[in-house]
Structure 1
Amino acid sequence: MMLPRVLFVTGKGGTGKSTVAAAIALALSHRRPTTLADLDRRMSAAAALGAMPENSTPIKVTESLDVIALTPRAELEAFIDRIVPIRAISRRMLRSRTFGYVTAALPGLEAFLLLERLRIMAGDAALEDRYLVIDAPASGSAVELLSVSSGVKGIAPAGTLNRLADSIDGFLKDATRFGAVITMTPEDLAVREALETAATIRERLGVVTVAAIMNCVPDLLFDTSELAAMSPLGGHARLAVRRNCAHEKAALVAPRFADAGISTINLPMMFTPAIGRVELEKLGRVLDAKLIGR
């Protein structure tokens, strides 16, 4: 399948979601102009690329790659600024207790406006022939974010918010415009959560999963006889066994996702204390061959 214009990267915490998002953005940028939208407050993906945006103004990483930081609160403030163009009044409105009551009465309003911003960015990306990669929240929070428009339609069955919610739903369900990439590691809990996330967003929200990324897959270094010979080495032998088990477990996962119509891509374990541009380029080459150029 062709890649959608927007790739929404999510996964269980600790599975390398931000690293994968940064590597995908870097790999895509070698083919087309690309924007990485970092929704993570820690901005891990942006930091791995050497960029630390402080607001919604894009920062250039390379000639064809920029990074932007987006937060639900900032999108709410930008929305108020658009409808109340006198800044002194809009700032006072945001600080008022009454406005706090209004936002509390509309749960998910900030996240809803964040989704609307992503929809607008996706439209701009299509016009400019660029890609948008989103370093999204971890899977549980990501499902909540993607579900917001349905909640808004329940609160506002007619009017402007309802029309915006319809537009967002159409955007999320359009496989040419939006798709999820789900990260995991060779661990039972991470694999189970990835499968559950893919099923939830497909069946409940109509969102397609472009691929499942198995991160941190170690090479198979020893055969059975070599492992047996290492048994007197204690901790070293146990580490070798764990590495072999992780490799073998990763190989067993692909058929489970294939049954759900999802391809699995394995990324190698990076034996480095930190992830930077060099490591991202190595991961990006794997992603370019198996995800982008397939």
Structure 2
Amino acid sequence: MTYQADNTRYEKMTYNRAGRSGLKLPAISLGLWHNFGGINVLENGRAMLRRAFDLGITHFDLANNYGPPPGSAEETFGRVLREDFRPYRDEMIISTKAGYYMWPGPYGEWGSKKYLVSSLDQSLKRMGLEYVDIFYHHRPDPDTPLEETMSALDLVVRQGKALYVGLSNYRPKETRAAAKILKELGTPCVIHQPNYSMMNRWIEEGLQDVLQEEGIGSIVFSPLEKGILTDRYLGGITPDSRAAGPSVFLRPEDLTEERIAQVKRLNDLAAARGQKLSQMALSWVLRDGKVTSALIGASKVSQIEDAALALQNTSFTPEELGQIDEILGY
């Protein structure tokens, strides 16, 4: 059956401007890091992508190595784009990245111009696109001059392969230096993608100040702290959970008795707010307007629906914020 998007989709979502750019992102974005690879069921991925778009989630975040196997998430997205979303391409923000290991040899990872341009060419081919909306350098490269890496980002914009460029996993000092180079080249950095959650607040110690000063937006990954900030682990680790499997994404040692006790108290606070814990965690990262978008992962449609509902209550009382800090030891 031909897909037709929900006509009310834009009434359901909040859109925030990325820094001082013209780019607006939905407050909730969908990442394809897990559950969209070649080992996953295509129709489940298709259902999640369709439902996300129907809820006004216009931004889909990928990277060259997402899968598994690496590259297969882009192939999955490309197929769904071709079969379902082609009429809506101009309503979508599609992003990809390069920086982590992708292929063998000296040109298959990090930050050389050779790698970044080649990787984006491969990503465009996998997705069947002429351009992506955002292209990120996925992680800093300690050995390649920052000028070369940033000139590669500038180049792909001038080639028409990307509209905007961004950084991911860069620390405050690196971010400021990269932003300066890009500004001088004439292709400003518009977005930064760091990890951030109520349990992991490193960006508050300098990075958010740099982003504000430079006019750069932020889209935060792992706002649910690898799934810990959900009701999934209230009773500990279950045999069917991610923490019980072979994934290095979430390890059993991440879920200590102390951590689970904290999660239970946070869950009680969320319930008092009329939210699920996952919804409160998303609301928390969006609470003060400093974060442009919260990037979620999902394995089923209901998780995307829950995330979108978090936007119904993103304000916190000083008492609630104090309780969260006290529970987590801040």
Scaled by the length of structure 2, the TM-score of the pair is: 0.40
Scaled by the length of structure 1, the TM-score of the pair is: 0.43
Using CA pairs under 8 Å that are at least 6 residues apart, name the structure with larger relative contact order, 1 or 2. Answer: 1
More helix by share: 1
